[in-house]
Amino acid sequence: MRKISCLLIAASACYLAACEKSGFSYEDVNTENGVGYILLDTFSVDVKTVLLDSVPSSGQNVILNGFYNDPIFGKITAGSFFEVGLPDSRKIENNMVYDSTELILRSNGYYYGDTMVPQNIQVYQLAQNINMNEGSSYLYTHHSFATQSSPLGSRAAYIRPLAKDTVSIRLADSKGQEIWDLFANNANEVSGASQWLDYFKGFAIRTGTTNAIYGYNATTAVMRIHYHINSLERGTSYFEFPLSNSGYQFNNIQADRTGTAIAGLTTTNNSISSTNLDNAAYMQGLTGIATRLDFPSIKKSMELGKFGKIITATLTVQPIRNTYTQYNLPAKVCLVKADSKQNTYDTLMNSTNGGYQYGDLSIDHLYNENTAYTYDLTSYCTSELTTDNITTRGLLMLPTYGDYLTKPERLVIGDKLNSKNKMTFKIYYLLYK
């Protein structure tokens, strides 16, 4: 590498003028062993809140149910759809007598909201088979299927998610007895899996008055028909109908954003600039809301000189104070490359260990001022230098894949002009000749 210490000192005034003309400036110039670094920290970052086209939900093995009125993100309602299969053994003897039917859900430990309010669970029988659209591999959060008009059962219960409570909902005996009689008569409706689904298409779990969303383990959800045996030693037992076809279990999520800052987000108006949101941006993956970041001025770094290289690029994102006092911040937030239509591509990797970048969340517990996510954008910025209008990619801020599809985790951040918590974007640039 050729020595440049004298060159940088002599030409610094020219570079400064060029920087002002190009819309950026540098903070410092250091030379050591013939290497010169320029810190650029005035690049523009276009920040938007965007509404994604759809959120896949099936096959996650999580049942969500509940309602929560979020002061920032609006009224969020969660329900779930799934099928149940036939029990392994279903032979009914003459001395066996039907007792009751229940649906059993086991908490997976997750909740969002106020657990001091009883959870209202309503269980409906599906009137329509669960089906995927042709050519699709997923069911999405906006999907829904018809149910019978009246619930098969309901219950209001206090749930301790950290204790992973089990919740039992008593179902209508008329339906339980009907299924029992089909077994007793070896009816066609219970002769095989397809015949059973034609007769009993599955369940929809909905909610009534509540103030929290809970998660349940889909793999352990079962319908049980209890019975007793008439004999000298009276005994009790049950037939168990497990959740079947996990790929067809999914959660329906509805969000009413009326009265919120992002109420204007619709399928036709799916983007709002942070400049129209008091220099803030929003993220809640489960309801389809993401923060989008674009860096249109990265290529201007090449105007500093004919020969140069991005050494390091860092992005620091700060959640806005008082938006997470009652909620835990997402522990991990990814940056995902996306085109102009929000089609997603690669998730940014860590150049040090090769894993995904999750933001390395640092929480300021004392002053609640310097909480931040930090990212290394070196590889991303370098690749953007050679893109065109078609191949350029922005970045979507989203929770990790599993959390994105199963938890209403949310985040509100400031852009570079936010008066409370600013975003910072810095590039260390090597200039030589």
Cα 204 to Cα 194: distance, rounded to the nearest angstrom? 19
Counting Cβ atoms within 10 Å, is residue 310 exposed (0-12), middle (13-18) or buried (19+)?
Answer: buried
* Mean pLDDT in order along the chain per 10 residues (433 residues): 31 34 44 62 90 94 95 95 94 92 97 90 97 91 97 94 94 97 96 96 91 95 95 83 95 96 93 97 96 89 67 94 87 95 91 87 86 95 89 95 92 94 90 64
pLDDT value of position 59 = 94
pLDDT value of position 100 = 97
Structure tokens at 88: 């392994």
Tell how far CA 316 is from the center of its chain.
21
Pairing state between β 46-51 and 35-40: unpaired
Which amino acid type is present at position 271? S
Q: Is the dihedral of CA 8, 13, 16, 18 positive or negative?
A: negative
pLDDT value of position 40 = 75
pLDDT value of position 39 = 75
Cα 316 to Cα 325: distance, rounded to the nearest angstrom? 20
Provide the 3-class DSSP secondary structure of residue 114.
Answer: coil
Pairing state between β 74-84 and 153-157: unpaired
